[in-house]
Amino acid sequence: MLARDSSDLRDLMSSTLTSTSVVLEFVASWCGLCAMIAPQMELLAEEFDGDGVRFLKADVEDCAEAAKDFGVEVLPSILIIR
């Protein structure tokens, strides 16, 4: 699920973390490596999303505040949060 902005990402995470782990992927539309791994991340999300794991994606352009809060310095950045 793609977060619209930092506030939306915070809401999604707070409603999700009570019962599942989160795989949070920070990407950007201009990032070539992000585009390269996108199909594999989508396959993982299809297979495991909802099975104790929630996959979230955040564009650093739209979620700059959250990216800063999580210390994102390189893209793509994939965080696993329990």
**Which residues are identified as catalytic?**
31, 34
Cα-based distances in Å from 30 to 7, 21, 39, 53: 23, 28, 16, 27
User: What's the CA gap between 82 and 19, in Å, rounded?
Assistant: 9
Q: Mention every residue, 6+ apart, whose C-beta is less than 8 A from residue 45.
A: 23, 55
Question: And the tokens for 58?
Answer: 């955040």
